[in-house]
Structure formats: C-alpha cells, structure tokens
A and B are shown apart, each in its own frame.
Chain A
Amino acid sequence: MKRLREFVRENSHNPNAIAYAAMAIGALTFPGIAQFATGGNADYLVSLAADGGVFVLLAIGLNVVVGFAGLLDLGYAAFFAIGSYTYGMLASQQLISSPFHHALHVPFWIALFLGMFIAAGAGALLGAPTLRLRGDYLAIVTLGFGEIVPRFFRNMKDFTSGVNGISALDVPTLPYWITGPWANTQLAIEQNFRFVTFNVTAWYVLIVILVVASVLGVSNLYVSRLGRAWMAVREDETAAAAMGVNTVNTKLLAFAIGASFSGFAGAFYGAKLSLVSPDSFGFIVSITILSMVVLGGMGNIPGAMIGALLLYWVLYKFLPDAPLQASSLAHNLGLDALNTVTPNWPGIAEFVSRLKFIIFGLILVSIMLLRPQGLLPSRLRTAELKRGVHDESATETV
C-alpha cells in the first residue's frame, strides 16, 4: 500500500502518467457508463469507441515513423488498406470468384498477423529504395503510394470485387468468453464465442487489449537500442552514421514497424466492419492520422493516443451530429425559419454539414499556429523546438 502511494506521488506531476491513467480508467469504465447513461442503448457508442481504438492503433504506429524516426509518411492509409484487404481476401468467400477458385478461410488470429507482416513487407519494399532520399522526397513517394494502393485494389476486380468491396468476412471466434452487465447481459461464460457485429462490447474489449499490447511493445522499443538509434537518426543523420548507426536499416525498420501497425489495425477494422471497400483508405485518412499524431504531440505515445481520441471524436461524433444539433437548437430558440429550405438557403442542418471541411481545416491550421508542439508534447521535442535544431530531416526546422 505504501509503495502504491509513493508510486502515485512520484507520478502525479508526470503528464504522461496522468494521461495513461486517465485513458486506462476511461477505457475500462466506458462501456458500463455508456450503457448505464443511455439505459442500455449504447451499442452504437461502444461500436464507435471500438472504431476509435483502431485510429489509436494507427496513431501509435504512425508515431513510430513520424515521431520517433522523423520520417514523413503521407500515405499511411495504404498499409491500412493492405491489412484490410489481406484479411478480406484470406477470410471470406472472395477468392472463389478469383482465378484461384478456392476460398481460404484463414482464422482471424492468424490473418491478423498475416495482415501485419504483409503490410510490413510492403513498407520495407517501398522504403528500401526511397529511404536514402531527403526527408520530403520520402513524403512525396509515400503520397504517391497512398494514392496508388486503393486504386489498385479497386481495379483488381477479380480479387477484390472492385468498388463494391469485399463483404461478409469471417467472424473471429474464441473458445471461451466472459459476458456481463457491461455488455447488457447476465454474467456468464460463453463457449465457442463468435465476434458477431452486434456484439460490440466484445470488439471493444478486443481493441483495448490490442492497444494495450501495442503501447507496451512500442514503449519498450522506444527505450531500446533501436529506439535510441531512431532518435539519433531523427536528430542528426550524419552524426548518427558517424556513431556507427546503420541509418538506412534503422529508418527501414521504423518504416516497416509503422506499416505493420497499420496492417494490423486494417485487418481488425475489416473484420469488425465485415466489409472492405476501396473508399475507406483515401488521402484524407492518411492526413487524419498524421493530424492526430501532430495534434497530440509527435514522438510521445500517450500524446498521439490522446490526439487520436480527440480528433476521432470531432470527426466521427461531433461533426456528424452537428447538423441535427444545430437544427434542434434553432427549433428550441424559436428560429424555425432557419430550418425551412428555400432555393437560397439549404436549411441549417445542411448548412452545418457543409461546414465540415472548413471546421477540419480550421482545426489543423489553428493547432499548428497556436500549439505546434501538440497537446501533450514529448519533452525532448519541446526542447528541440525551443532551440531550433538545424537538420535536413522532414520534421525538423528548415
């Protein structure tokens, strides 16, 4: 008990520890509180939170590439697509209509790691010839790659059903699973449990476990020899090379590990939605993930996670809800005229929904102008920002 108290006291001024604690408590209590607050109708909210977890995973992965190693990746969604499509093709009836004529039904738990390795392999293949280029050249290459991959999947109609995407993916199964009041049922142990779509709490628990595992893994990488090599390469590539760091391999590993997270998250996302469509992996997704990392604080794992949660909430809950909110607000204020649609006025709801691009843009611009180091910055990077270290990598000062 005394030890615990000391531990709390020691960490009570450490913003990262507070952020981790807050997120852990939030993650544990969210399904229960949401179900209680909505009277048992919170499935939609819990499902949304599980999707948010996917973006947290993506932000953790991109943080390795951009934050730790200082490589700018503008096509991160490409690896997300690769992971999703890997799962989609390997775990559905899809391949029957392909030239192979045989459906593979690879179990989810294996396909998850296959998606991860294939994405990492794609990252390594793309990175090998391009990582020795200057920082923003890499950004341009990844930008091109991010544009190519979804279009490629859309065009390979035999394998991916083109624009329709792959649907009815296999459901992950587990021999045992515990359900309880947090999922709106009696406390019980279920046998041969299936992760069906409406069982949102199970998906939620799964993504929380995956996020925790990823945080542990990445935190360990951060303090490892490889993590220090990333930092060194980010700060000064020439000096790092002089100290015996193999800069190309170090950067390649950062790129591949980042890609593997994206592939991992992609496989999960595909399985949860039970649908893989080429529209969900555009440039805007890459930019959103990058903004999450930058908003939270580059190079800081809890920062990236908080940035992801915050921006996810704005983009997938606040903005979609805003039109209805505005409409009912106008109604309550007695301004029903705002809700009537005329040729010159699309109605307040439509008007607010049309504002979404501007709001997203304003968020990006104002954060960069007001707090370029992010909400929860890495201490090391804050120091760099103040001193203005000169370097030629993408994330450094010009």
Chain B
Amino acid sequence: MIGALARTPATLRNFGNSQFATLIGLLIAAIGIVLTIQHVLQHDAAFFFQILTIGIADGSIYALIALGYTMVYGIIELINFAHGDVFTLGAFISLALFPVFGIAEGTSGFGYVLPLLAVGLITMALVAVVNVAIERVAYRPLRHAPRLAPLITAIGMSSILEGAMYLWKGPFNLHYPDLLPLTRVNIGAISIGVKDLIVLTLAIVLVVAFTLFINLSKLGKAMRATAQDRDAAQLMGIDINRTIAATFFIGAVLAGAGGITYGLYINSVSFDLGFITGLIAFTAAVFGGIGNIPGAAIGGLLIGMVRAFSDSYFDSSWTEIVIFGILIATLVFRPTGLLGMRVPEK
C-alpha cells in the first residue's frame, strides 16, 4: 500500500523551509492585501481610519492574550487551552468587583480612575493565582507524561473554568459598564476615538513593561533559560517549578488585563467568550512566531486588523475562516511565523 503512492518529491518534503514556499506565502498575502486595498478605495478615507483604529484596539487585546500563549508554549510546549478562559475570568471578576468599589455606568470624572486601577490590580492578582493553581494541579504532575496528557487536561480545565462562570452568571451575555470616554479626537478628516487610544496605550505599556521584565530581570532570564533548555537551566541552579509557575502568573496577569480591557472596550461578555477569543489569540501567537514575544504582540495587532477589515469591508461570517486560514497558511508556508520562533527544535 505504501508503494502504491508515488515517492514524495523532494520539493514537497522540505516545502516549509524552502524559499519557494515563502514566495507562495508572500503571493497569497499580496493577493489578500491587494483585494483589501481595492475594497478600501471604494470607501472614503475616514471610514478606513475608523476601521483601522478599531482593528488596532482589538488587536492590542489579542496581543495581550497571545503573549500568555506564546510564553507558555515557549517554556513547556503546551497549547494552554485554558488561557482564553482565564481571560474571560478576568472580565467576570472585574465585573463583580465594580459595585464593591462603587463604580457604575455613568460614573465620570477622574475620581473613578483610582478605583478602576484598584479593580484592575485585584483582578489581575486573582486571575494569576487561578492560573498558577491550574498549572500546579493540572500540568505539573503531567510534566513527564506523554504530551497529549497535559493537552487534554488543558481542555478539561478550560471546560471547568467555563462551567464555573456559567454557574456563576448563567448563559447570557452580560453587560459590562461603559466607563471609557466616548469623545473622539479629530485630526483633519480622520477621527480617532479616545477609547481606542486608551486601549492601545494600555496594551503598549503592559507589553513594554513585560518585555523589559523578560529581558532585564533575573526571573525573566531564568524564563528564557528554561525555555531554551530545561535540563541545562536546572543544572545552572534555576528552580524550574518556580520559573514555570511565574510564567503562568505573568501570562495570567496580561490575560486578566486583557479581559478588563475587552470588557471596557466591547461592553459585553459571556461565559464562553474565551474559547473563540483564545483561538484567535493563539492564531496571532503562531502568526508572529510561537515562543517569540515581540512576534506575539505584532501578530496580535495584525490579526486584530485583519479581523476589523474583514468584518467591515468583506463579510463578517467569513472573518473566522480568514483568520484560521491564516493560521494554516502560516504553518504551511512559514512554520516559524513572521519573526521566527525562539524555541529551538528539540
């Protein structure tokens, strides 16, 4: 039966690494961009910039989530399916904390910035503790088991988190208070929402702080070392368990921040939101080059823009097909992603 199939041509075998594949990938990307430009030219520039800002704001939320995926994948090579639900949990916890701090819709002025910050910090801490607990219970005991085992527990944990939020708030869409200012800044014909700017700024601050942390702190160095070679890192005296737990902690802090930002930006959350958002963020991580931190941020922004453009210039029912098509195309034509992955082949 094996002989019945013709021998695979050599070009196919080394397809993803060849320049030919990159060329085809570029060609597909070029066609997509040309089609988009053609559609963009049919509308006016103001509309284009409006969509662009929505895409960037949306994309910065994806970037925050994608960082968690890429870090966890980089360090233990696990697709942490529960990460999307940790993101939703951030939105849910902050939603429950708002009344405690006296924040309600219609609150205005700078007086509510401080309580909002407090809600944010508490949410991020709680979500991070949950994520570390998940790692402790569901992933650490399986670190030497077959690779499928932690993947299944990740899916199980995702289901448990979704179930807990379902039990907590029920199956409906929840309204998330609209606290960000609705004013828009006009620069010539272009109008940019202050809301979009706040979301983007927040994401940039977090991503920059996070990158500095990874590159400059001792713990960040330990993380990079563990991602590169766990055994060697252990020999150098790095506490592997602590480093991995810290990775989950920081990933969840970013996801929790993403959850709050999402709530403030979209104003509607539901218990199963994390599933599709998580998959899209994961696509962003793969697109940027999984294991690569700047790659995840850039991938998130690009996927956010793809989503916004596809939603408004084409048909929104095809958006997810386009995004997952990008996922497959990335792995077929350039498995290392845009920026190349930092994880060595083991």
Residues of chain A within 8 A of B283, CB atoms compared: 144
**Which listed segment binds A: B31-39, B153-161, B187-195?**
B153-161
Contact string against B for A residues 114-149, beta-carbon threshold 8 Å, 1 for contact and 0 otherwise = 000000000000001110111111011101110110
Least CB distance from A253 to B in Å reads: 7
From known contacts A283-B275, A358-B164, A361-B159, infer whether A396 and B152 are also in contact, taking CB-CB under 8 Å. Answer: no
Contact string against A for B residues 292-322, beta-carbon threshold 8 Å, 1 for contact and 0 otherwise = 0000000000000000000000010110110
B318, A372: Cβ atoms closer than 8 Å: no
Residues of chain A within 8 A of B320, CB atoms compared: 147-148, 151
Please name the residue on chain B nearest to A358 by beta carbon.
B163
A364 interface contact, C-beta 8 A: yes
Residues of chain B within 8 A of A58, CB atoms compared: none
A338 interface contact, C-beta 8 A: no
Least CB distance from B143 to A in Å reads: 7
Least CB distance from B165 to A in Å reads: 9
B152, A246: Cβ atoms closer than 8 Å: no
Least CB distance from A381 to B in Å reads: 8
Please name the residue on chain A nearest to B143 by beta carbon.
A398
Residues of chain B within 8 A of A248, CB atoms compared: 8, 12-13
A357, B166: Cβ atoms closer than 8 Å: yes
A169 interface contact, C-beta 8 A: no
From known contacts A249-B5, A249-B8, A388-B144, infer whether A357 and B162 are also in contact, taking CB-CB under 8 Å. Answer: yes
Instruction: Give complex CA distance A348, B332 in Å.
Output: 50
**Which listed segment binds B: A9-17, A41-49, A198-206, A287-295?**
A287-295
Give the interface SS of chain B, mostly helix, strand, loop or mixed.
Answer: helix
A238 interface contact, C-beta 8 A: no
Instruction: Give complex CA distance A130, B333 in Å.
Output: 9
B7 interface contact, C-beta 8 A: yes
B156, A226: Cβ atoms closer than 8 Å: no
Residues of chain B within 8 A of A135, CB atoms compared: 147
A154 interface contact, C-beta 8 A: yes
Residues of chain B within 8 A of A151, CB atoms compared: 317-318, 320-321
Residues of chain A within 8 A of B16, CB atoms compared: 129, 132-133
Instruction: Give complex CA distance A295, B144 in Å.
Output: 18
A358, B321: Cβ atoms closer than 8 Å: no
B286 interface contact, C-beta 8 A: yes
A369, B332: Cβ atoms closer than 8 Å: no
A140, B79: Cβ atoms closer than 8 Å: yes
B77, A397: Cβ atoms closer than 8 Å: no
Of residues B12, B148, B324, B331, which shows the largest number of chain A Cβ atoms within 10 Å of its Cβ?
A: B148
A398, B157: Cβ atoms closer than 8 Å: no
A341 interface contact, C-beta 8 A: no
A141, B332: Cβ atoms closer than 8 Å: yes
Instruction: Give complex CA distance A132, B150 in Å.
Output: 23
Give which listed residue, B142, B286, B345, contacts A369 with CB less than 8 A: B142
From known contacts A136-B147, A355-B163, A397-B145, infer whether A155 and B157 are also in contact, taking CB-CB under 8 Å. Answer: no
Of residues B2, B162, B170, which shows the largest number of chain A Cβ atoms within 10 Å of its Cβ?
A: B2
CB proximity to B under 8 Å, residues A352-375: 354-365, 367-369, 372
B159, A364: Cβ atoms closer than 8 Å: yes
A158 interface contact, C-beta 8 A: no
A339 interface contact, C-beta 8 A: no
A132, B15: Cβ atoms closer than 8 Å: yes
Residues of chain A within 8 A of B158, CB atoms compared: 361
Residues of chain A within 8 A of B8, CB atoms compared: 246, 248-249
Instruction: Give complex CA distance A140, B155 in Å.
Output: 14
Residues of chain B within 8 A of A397, CB atoms compared: 144-147
Contact string against B for A residues 16-53, beta-carbon threshold 8 Å, 1 for contact and 0 otherwise = 00000000000000000000000000000000000000
Instruction: Give complex CA distance A187, B123 in Å.
Output: 68
A140, B327: Cβ atoms closer than 8 Å: yes
Task: Give A contacts to B, CB under 8 Å.
Answer: 66, 72, 128-130, 132-137, 139-141, 143-145, 147-148, 151-152, 154-155, 224-226, 229, 245-246, 248-250, 252-253, 283, 287, 290-291, 294, 298, 346, 351, 354-365, 367-369, 372, 385, 388, 392, 394-398
A-B contact pairs, 20 of them (CB 8 A): A66-B148, A130-B331, A132-B13, A132-B16, A133-B331, A137-B331, A141-B327, A141-B331, A246-B5, A248-B8, A248-B13, A294-B152, A361-B157, A361-B163, A367-B152, A368-B138, A368-B150, A372-B146, A396-B146, A398-B144
Task: Give B contacts to A, CB under 8 Å.
Answer: 1-2, 5, 7-8, 12-16, 76-77, 79, 137-138, 141-153, 155-164, 166-167, 170-171, 275, 279, 282-283, 286, 315, 317-318, 320-321, 324-325, 327-328, 331-332, 335, 345-346
Known A136-B77, A147-B279, A298-B148; 14 more pairs at CB < 8 Å: A72-B151, A129-B15, A129-B16, A130-B328, A136-B79, A147-B320, A151-B317, A294-B149, A354-B163, A355-B167, A357-B166, A369-B142, A372-B145, A397-B144
